[in-house]
Amino acid sequence: MSAAAATLPPAPAPTSGVFAGGAHHFPVRVYFEDTDAGGIVYHANYLRFMERARSDMLRLLGISQRGALDAGEGAYAVSSLSINYRAPARLDDDLIVVSRMTGVGGATVTIAQQVLRGETLLTDGAVTVAFLSAKGRPKRQPKDWVARFTSITTGEISPQ
């Protein structure tokens, strides 16, 4: 290790967002790469923002998607998606993706999501993900995951 590297402070961890009021809040900043030539967020990038928020929400719940995949247990895949575009986000905007679990089944989870700039709703949608086996077939989710999802959906717990 070089002397310069030894004097660097520890790298900050990426944010995973926070739970508040039974919803997950995930910050996103709009970068140039997210926009079109006019500085407006390209429509498909809202899906990326929402995906990152869902992944980090699971991480905060103590669910390791990578661990499940590596162990051959399975992985989530989007089975249904709806999205409404209400107002544009622009270059350098600070956004919040708010995610709420609205339904939990044996093999599926439905999550309602909103992208906000301050109090302005920019985009909202709902996604249903299905847990799939290594062979790509629907499979029951791990029971402890379902219990965590259900406790969030019913407002029984609000993890920090």
Q: Name the catalytic one among 36, 92, 94, 144.
A: 36
Please name the residue that has the structure tokens 């107002």.
Answer: 87
pLDDT at res. 133: 93
For every one of its 160 residues, what pLDDT tens digit does the chain have, with 9 covering 90 and above? 566 667 888 888 888 899 988 899 999 999 999 999 999 999 999 999 999 999 999 999 999 999 998 998 999 999 999 999 999 999 999 999 999 999 999 999 999 999 999 999 999 999 999 999 989 999 999 999 999 988 887 766 555 4
Domain ranges of the chain: 17-153
Q: Name the fold adopted by 17-153.
A: Thiol Ester Dehydrase; Chain A (3.10.129)
Residue with tokens 């600070």: 94
Active site residue 93: no
Distance CA 45, CA 53 (A): 12
Read off the pLDDT of residues 129-155 as tens digits, 9 standing for 90 and up.
999 998 999 999 999 999 998 888 776
**pLDDT at res. 160:** 44
Cα separation, 111 vs 126, whole angstroms: 6
State pTM to two decimals.
0.89
- Would strands 108-117 and 23-29 be described as parallel, antiparallel, or unpaired? unpaired
Task: Output the pLDDT for position 12.
Answer: 80
Tokens found for residue 127: 């996604």
